[in-house]
Structure 1
Amino acid sequence: MTGTINDEAARATWPFVVAACHAAGLDPEGAEPVRIADHAIWAISGEVVVRLTRPGRRAAAHTELRTAQWLADHGVPAVRPALPGVVELPGERAATFWRRLPDHTPGRHEDVAGLLRLLHRLPLPDHLPPLADPAGRARARIEAVRHSSVIDHADMGRLADRADDLADAWRILAAGLSPAPLHGDAWAGNVARTADGRAFLLDLDSAAVGPPEWDLTSTAVKVSTTATIPPAEYERFVAAYGGYDVRTYDGFEVMRDIRELHMAVYAIQTAVDHPHTAPEARHRVACLRSLNGPRPWTWTAVPHPPGRPGPIV
């Protein structure tokens, strides 16, 4: 690590980065944090980035590597592993190593749709788990931060109850499109667009098999919930996918509500490490409690220091 990293969350991940690099036979000298959020991503020498999971996400790291290779075999543009194996770390953490992409910006919404169209048409792979309970993952994150000071105890209880209700609703969802391979967290921030117009899928650790509508809802909520996509831009997304608008699906409201819950809980989780983001977390929770009027709501980006704030997540 060169210089002083003026961010507590980044400093906390540094010992794991060092241990992972040494285990993989790489030199961590000169490593720099790229993004410290749900995962800690550091750039190291040799055009390689190391991706460090949160505690308890080791199995997802193994799945992510297998998914990246599977996508390569099928010619889908995505991040590619720099090393074939996972470095296992204490606390059910893991580190993986990836080839660094050329300079890039977040993808356009049409890029997301085009990549999803490729992905959803692939044959179902054997290695991906079924998307059984996406509300349950939000519930687990709620429990992990329940005793923090970001949100009061009563509101955390309400979020947990909401997650339970949505889990019940998920189990009786209306039938929709045929099950397909899913990215799991498909939005513009998880697509990289290079200067020459190429687009690549990033962050493959939520990949699963399930209803394609789940992937499409990630962009639709930018219209229905946060109003951060102009209608014309969303129409281009729909056209790039092939003309299907997930908002016409009978189960859309359930998927929308689960996505909103994920976004609110993510903001709480971020505020634990970056306290200056706590007002946004509280704002999102108030919206879910119907205290800020009807949708669409104004949700602003949750910053990820060090570095510039990221897109709205």
Structure 2
Amino acid sequence: MSVDGEAVRLRSEADEPGWEVDPDDEWGVAVITTVGRQLKLRREAAGLRAAEFGKAVGYGEDLVYKVEGGKRIPRQDYLIRADELLDAGGLVAATWEDVKRVRYPKKVRDIAKLEAQAVEIGVYVCNSISGLLQTPEHARALFHAAQPPYSPDDVERMVAARTARGAIFERDPAPSVSFVLEEATLLREVGGTMVWRGQLERLLEVGQLRNITLQVMPTKTDAHPGVDGKIEVLKFADGTAVGRSDGAFNGRPTSEPKLLRILELRYGTIRAQALTPRDSLAFIEHLLLGET
């Protein structure tokens, strides 16, 4: 394939690392297998060999076979080009609505699903800013700092997944959400000064929403029940709840009433020791002004 006489290099696996299907993700495997089968049947009905089809959409033959075999997650541009080439009338392109969810790890999807259903959420994180509050730039800097390093494609997938969780702030009716953040995590300039300032501005923006309570835990304070790590409690409209803590029950989610009461007691104690919401927002404003 060429454009204005110049050869066009087709995309290969080296260009698209990190888009493999997790074999343990049953729903993800089912989605990608179904989409791949549909693409293969339409391609064969159109009388196109895999190599011809690949050249037409800008992908190597090996990737075409892997997408059709349910081994690779197709990108949106692949589905759009395939739809046009196969004259599918938008049906192939529309599969992106399901495919894009499969890009995110199953664990992240499960968390996001619970958060999307909860009417009340309480979160304390010891060593970082909650993922629900992170800007894309802040999240990207954290993923780039990981060792061993993630591939650039993996980083972008995880940033997109983390950012998508922020949709809970746009829900109607809105859930009641409370956060407790450690002062030390606000002082760390993750991603550099501009990214850090953007993250603080995001906290101020979210902290002023009527359904959000944001509190800062001062570094110069006594020990509290959250020093072992994250605590999260989610409550639902039917009266049920789910909670977990890094420092309890092996970090596993629990819905047992007795254990939930323990988590709620710990979270309540943490909130009582933290700055008030008003003082917390004032503290963040002072950080932005360089007054602390």
TM-score normalised by the chain length of structure 2: 0.31
Higher share of residues assigned helix: 2
TM-score normalised by the chain length of structure 1: 0.30
Larger radius of gyration: 2
